[in-house]
Amino acid sequence: MNMNLKENIVLTIDTTISIANRFISLIAMDEIDYTLIINLVDSLTILSNSVLLIECDAIDIDEFNTKLAFTLNALEEKDIYQFSDNLNYELIPLLEYWKENIN
């Protein structure tokens, strides 16, 4: 695998997790930053496109897409707390797993 691509994917994962954690922290204080949502969706889009370029058994894009659809559905339904929970308990753990297992 191209080392630069791997490093970029890991960086994108770190960025995505960081944005998600900032958003989750704000929600815990009953604050919403819509710019973070936009940045998060952008980062997730970049990540999903990037991982398609590598072969890695740990990356299941169908699982990612399912969790992402569930998460974005909560956002569409304006259920910001479900959106936050899905980030925290579904997407972040998956991204952390990817980061640990990209080889």
51: number of Cβ within 10 Å? 21
| pLDDT at residue 2, as a whole number | 60
Q: If you average pLDDT over every residue of the chain, what do you get? A: 93
The structural domains of the chain, with segments of one domain joined by +, span 3-101
Model confidence pLDDT, tens digit, residues 3-32: 688 899 999 999 999 999 999 999 999 999
pTM, rounded to two decimals: 0.91
Contact by Cβ (8 Å): 68, 91: yes
Q: Could you say which residues of the chain have pLDDT below 70? A: 1-3, 103
| pLDDT at residue 55, as a whole number | 84
